[in-house]
């Protein structure tokens, strides 16, 4: 079984107010992903993430994610100010398993307009695999400006390089800049409420084995898992980081991806399928 990892770590300087807004946004995303109600949003938060639905103050934040049902950043926020420079904060954003470049970039852009007006913020990310598999390694780079985001994966960079026309001098001719609206797809997702899976003895054994699971919450009895995230290869060939689970359940998950998502196109590295154990 192969595991695919998205990893990155970067720091930058911002104001203390921007640091507080970053912390509020990170904490709210974590609460929403755990299906918890975050504390009431601040005035500054609502200005940075204006609500798109009058009944939901968090809709502006959820709108930066590829799928609002999965507000996953795949990273943690640390850092702060120091005695030497008490008016300046130095946040560090890092993730080693499922770092999500696009929503993180958009979150930083909205939270740090004062700092971005002085200089852009940039980071790189890496895609690695626990086994030697062609096409499973790569990465990308991102530059965050106050009014836009310039982001590109290594796969996209290779495609551009291969399609670049050759000029008469033998040197590659210049290409027009990519449309800023073209953003990479960093995963697609599906939510399946399947309490019957969590009652299956073989599935419960799989949940309890030593292999790490993407899970955020257990409910009820101490050993009752209430949700778990599994990864499915977008080719829908039956491969995936969690394909070692009981075969009948894995086949049903892949079939659901075929029905609702279809075979992946473009640079999407995996489908995220969230299985929940909600009462019937």
Q: For the chain, what are the domain ranges?
A: 4-158, 188-276
What does the block give as tokens for 212?
A: 């790490």
- Tell me what pLDDT residue 184 has: 40
Question: From CA 106, how far away is CA 85, in angstroms rounded?
Answer: 27
Question: From CA 257, how far away is CA 30, in angstroms rounded?
Answer: 25
Measure the CA dihedral 159/161/166/170, to 10°: -150
Kindly write down the DSSP assignment for every residue of 175-230, as one continuous string. Answer: -PPPPTT------EEEEEE-HHHHH-HHHHHHHHSSS--B---B-SSTT-B-EEEE
- Tell me what pLDDT residue 116 has: 92
- Tell me what pLDDT residue 220 has: 53
What does the block give as tokens for 98?
A: 């499922």
- Tell me what pLDDT residue 132 has: 81
Chunked into runs of 10 residues, the chain (280 residues) has average pLDDT values of 85 94 96 92 95 90 90 92 81 93 95 93 91 83 92 85 65 46 51 84 85 58 67 76 86 85 60 74
Looking at 164-277, list the stretches that DSSP marks H as alpha helix, in order from N- to C-terminal side.
195-199, 201-208, 247-260
- Tell me what pLDDT residue 146 has: 92
Would you say 202 and 246 are in contact if contact means Cβ atoms under 8 Å apart? yes
DSSP-derived letter for residue 97 is S
Q: Which of 187, 81, 175, 63 is nearest to 125 (CA)?
A: 187
- Tell me what pLDDT residue 142 has: 93
Would you say 21 and 44 are in contact if contact means Cβ atoms under 8 Å apart? yes
List residues bridging with 92 in a β-sheet.
11, 78
Would you say 232 and 271 are in contact if contact means Cβ atoms under 8 Å apart? yes
267 three-state secondary structure: coil
DSSP-derived letter for residue 119 is S
Question: From CA 67, how far away is CA 174, in angstroms rounded?
Answer: 35
- Tell me what pLDDT residue 102 has: 93
Q: Which residues are CB-neighbours of 123 under 8 A, at least 6 positions away?
A: 8, 10, 93, 101, 105, 141, 142
DSSP-derived letter for residue 37 is P
What does the block give as tokens for 255?
A: 């079939």
Question: From CA 229, how far away is CA 190, in angstroms rounded?
Answer: 10
What does the block give as tokens for 143?
A: 């530059």
| Helix (H) or strand (E) segment spanning residue 1 | none
């Amino acid at each position: 079984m192969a595991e695919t990892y998205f990893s990155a770590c970067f720091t930058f300087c911002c104001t203390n107010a921007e640091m507080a807004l970053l912390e509020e946004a990170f904490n709210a995303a974590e609460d929403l992903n755990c299906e918890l109600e975050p504390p009431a949003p601040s005035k500054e938060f609502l200005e940075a993430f204006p609500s798109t639905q009058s009944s939901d103050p968090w809709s502006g934040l959820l709108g930066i994610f590829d799928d609002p049902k999965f507000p996953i950043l795949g990273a943690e926020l640390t850092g702060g100010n120091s005695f030497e420079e008490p008016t300046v904060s130095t946040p560090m954003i890092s993730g080693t398993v499922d770092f999500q470049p696009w929503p993180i970039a958009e979150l930083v852009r909205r939270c740090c307009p004062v700092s971005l007006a002085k200089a852009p913020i940039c980071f790189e990310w890496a895609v690695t695999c626990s086994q030697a598999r062609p096409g499973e390694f790569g990465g990308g780079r991102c530059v965050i400006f106050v009014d836009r985001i310039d982001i590109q994966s290594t796969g996209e960079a290779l495609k551009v390089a291969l399609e670049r026309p050759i000029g008469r001098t033998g040197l590659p001719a210049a290409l027009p800049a990519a449309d800023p609206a073209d953003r990479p797809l960093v995963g697609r997702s599906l939510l399946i409420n399947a309490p019957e899976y969590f009652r299956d003895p073989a599935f419960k054994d799989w949940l309890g084995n030593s292999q790490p699971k993407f899970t955020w919450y257990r409910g009820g009895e101490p050993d009752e898992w209430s949700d778990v995230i599994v990864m499915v290869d977008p080719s829908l060939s039956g491969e995936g980081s969690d394909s070692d689970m009981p075969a009948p359940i894995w086949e049903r998950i892949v079939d659901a991806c075929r029905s609702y998502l279809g075979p992946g196109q473009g640079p999407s590295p995996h489908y995220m399928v969230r299985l929940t154990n909600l009462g019937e």
